[in-house]
Amino acid sequence: MAIGNTRIERDSMGEMEVPADALYGASTMRAVLNFPISDLRFPRTFIRSLGLIKQAAAQTYMEMGVLDETIGNAIVEAAQRVIDGQYDDHFVLDVFQTGSGTSTNTNANEVIANVASQILGGDLGSRIVHPNDHVNLGQSSNDVIPTAIQLAALIAIHEDLIPGMEHLQRELKKKSDEFWPIIKTGRTHLQDATPIRLGQEFLGFAGQAEYSIKRLRRAQEALAEVALGGTAVGTGVNTHPEFSQRTCARLSEVTGVEIRETGNHFQAQSTLDATVEASGELKTVAISLHKIANDIRFLGCGPRAGLGEIILPEVQPGSSIMPGKINPVIAESVVQVAAQVVGNDATVALAGQGGYFELNTMMPVAAYNILQSISLLAASANNFAEQCVAGIEATDVGPEMVERGLMLGTALSPAIGYDAAAGIAKQAAATGRTIREVAKDETSLSDAELDELLNPEDMTRPSMEVRGGGG
């Protein structure tokens, strides 16, 4: 019954006024009023996953003969519209809500039920398709929401984050190949060390991206085992024993990611261990990106009073007061994303501690944070690859400083011993002379021997077979 700009909907607690054009019903409206906490809402990936689960559940129960096909097909069509994002503005609930996510599961049930009822010719609120009896058939918020968290994370990692990291890896490897001939001074403890190829530094960065992808594969393996089928407390009451296996197979086929029924519903439903594990892998990826971005911005610092070994692409003016100043803004963006992801991981870890007896009651905030981490890392990796790494150029500064490097003395150790080499390095440091100049005066080594020993290219690879022991 419509009253002005509202209509009357009913749930188990009685009547409730909802906006006349709202696709949700009374229970969702109660949650809207109960949780006016923030402007944080579940992202598109999570809503899509809820739609996928409701659609696959209806298909499974029709296949089993449990759900009427007319109603089931209407649910499938309505869920597809949710999957496609047609009704995102009807998923109105705050992330900070009931800890099981019951309110959001109910939101999905009511939206799909109302749309399905309209498909069958009914009005909003007519309940031709019932949100609990039909859309939520054989399910509970307690197994649907943790499954939706993991499914959404799996899809986002598969579709967005791994491709983003692969893009970054390719660009870093291209720079490694391009910069391979360039020999510069290495650094440990922020101090000069033995020579290294600029390409070797970038090979290290590319390796970090490669290993990040391996870590994401491990996260996917953790997330693949889901709670669906456990219903209220993990026992599977009110569901068919084959429901989860069949529904997970459908979800895997539709999404292209592996998802399977857990072997132990009681652990899957009472914890967020898989989500906590995956978030930890995301944190590691973030720390890895932080290292790459930080090194790149320091290698480019200057251009005249800093290291200046590389030039970063100029993407925007760097100062409102200093004309011509250019800042490493893309790298700075990456570093800030890393900070956010580390904070998100802390939230997910605390949410993981919210498992009490048969249910975790901090699922919504865990969902929001892990999905935000995936989204931020994916966008940041792509942006870093395109707007920074791809355009990096090398300067002559690194190679020019190699001959003045004090750690060239390391190459003298096999010939004259560590103590003598250390003395030469200290004298060179004190006088401003080069290792070669001091060694020529303080040792009996010929120019040819010094040329062979102090060849920086030889110092960029294992060399004991060339020079023998020592050092």
Most confident of 335-349, 401-415, 444-458: 335-349
Q: What is the mean pLDDT of residues 84-88?
A: 98
- Inter-residue long-range contacts of 121-130, CB under 8 Å, 24+ positions, other chains counted: 124/7, 124/21, 124/22, 124/23, 125/7, 125/8, 125/9, 125/10, 125/25, 128/71, 129/71, 129/74, 129/75, 129/78
Range(s) of the chain covered by CATH 1.10.40.30: 403-467
Q: Cα–Cα distance between 358 and 226 in angstroms, integer?
A: 15
pLDDT for residue 105 is more than 80: yes
What's the Rg (C-alpha) of the chain? 30
158, 371 in Cβ contact below 8 A?
no
Fold of 2-137: Fumarase C; Chain B, domain 1 (1.10.275)
Class of domain 403-467 (CATH, top level) = mainly alpha
**Which residue in the block uniquely carries the two structure tokens 């930890």?**
280
pLDDT in tens, 337-348: 999 999 999 999
pLDDT for residue 470 is more than 50: no
Half-sphere CA count of 52, side-chain side, radius 13 A: 27
> What local confidence, expressed as pLDDT, does residue 237 receive?
98
**Quick check: is 100 catalytic?**
no
Range(s) of the chain covered by CATH 1.20.200.10: 143-237+265-395
* Amino acid code (one letter) for 113: A
CB atoms under 10 Å from CB of 461, counted, come to 9
Q: What is the mean pLDDT of residues 253-266?
A: 98
CB atoms under 10 Å from CB of 89, counted, come to 10
For the entire predicted model, the pTM comes to 0.95
Q: Given 38, 126, 319, 446, which residue is catalytic?
A: 319
> What local confidence, expressed as pLDDT, does residue 469 receive?
44
Half-sphere CA count of 458, side-chain side, radius 13 A: 15
312, 392 in Cβ contact below 8 A?
yes
pLDDT in tens, 48-61: 999 999 999 999 99
CA-nearest of 39, 6, 42, 40 to 24 is 6
Q: Given 189, 265, 290, 320, which residue is catalytic?
A: 189
Q: Cα–Cα distance between 309 and 186 in angstroms, integer?
A: 12
CATH ID of 143-237+265-395, from 1.10.287.70, 3.40.50.20, 1.10.287.610, 1.20.200.10: 1.20.200.10
**Quick check: is 279 catalytic?**
no
Range(s) of the chain covered by CATH 1.10.275.10: 2-137
Q: How far is CA 200 from CA 160, 168, 236, 394, 459, in A?
A: 28, 16, 55, 13, 12
